[in-house]
Amino acid sequence: MASNVLYSWCLGIFTVLAVVVGGATAAGYSSAPAGFQPTPWEQAFATFYGDESASETMSGACGYGNLFSTGYGTDTAALSTTLFKNGYGCGQCFQLRCVNSKWCNKGSPITTITATNLCPPNWSEDSNNGGWCNPPRSHFDMAKPAFMKIAQWTAGIVPVTYRRVACIRKGGIRFKFEGNGYWLLVYVMNIGGGGDVANMWVKGSKTNWISMSHNWGASYQAFATLGGQPLSFKITSYTSHQVLVANYVTPANWQAGMTYTANVNFH
pTM over 0.75: yes
Q: What is the pLDDT of residue 59?
A: 74
- On average, the pLDDT of the chain sits at 87
Whole-number pLDDT of residue 36: 78
**pLDDT mean over 81-110:** 97
Q: Is the pLDDT of residue 87 over 60?
A: yes
Mean of pLDDT values over 1-20: 38
Question: Is the model more confident about 7 or about 95?
Answer: 95
Average pLDDT over residues 8-35: 36
Residues ≥6 apart with Cβ < 8 Å to 55: none
Calpha distance 109→57 (Å, rounded) = 23
DSSP letter (8 states) at residue 151: B
Percent over 70 (pLDDT), the chain: 87
Using CB atoms within 10 Å of the CB of residue 152, give its burial: 0 to 12 exposed, 13 to 18 middle, 19+ buried.
Answer: middle
Question: Would you say residue 29 has pLDDT above 80?
Answer: no
- State mean pLDDT over 27-41: 59
Q: Write down the pLDDT at residue 53.
A: 74
pLDDT digits (tens, 9 = 90+) for 204-250: 999 999 999 999 999 999 999 999 999 999 999 999 899 999 999 99
Cα dihedral 164→165→168→169 (10° resolution): 20
> What is the model's pLDDT at position 18?
36
pLDDT value of position 34? 54
Residue 60 has a pLDDT of 87
Q: What is the mean pLDDT of the segment spanning 157-167?
A: 97
Flag whether pLDDT at 128 surpasses 70.
yes
Which residue did the predictor score with more confidence, 18 or 203?
203
Quickly state the pLDDT bin for 33 (edges 50, 70, 90).
very low
Edge to edge, what strands does the sheet with 199-204 contain?
243-246, 231-236, 199-204, 210-216, 219-223, 183-189, 174-179, 259-261
83 phi/psi in degrees, rounded to 5: -85, -30
**What pLDDT is stored for residue 32 in this prediction?**
35
- Which comes out higher in pLDDT, residue 15 or 225? 225
DSSP summary character for residue 97: E
Q: Which residue has the higher pLDDT, 59 or 22?
A: 59
State the Cα–Cα distance between residues 174 and 186, nearest whole angstrom.
10
In this structure, what is the dihedral angle of CA atoms 100, 106, 112, 118, given to the nearest 10 degrees? -50
| Cβ neighbours, 10 Å, residue 46 | 24
Quick check: 20 and 245 in contact, CB under 8 A? yes
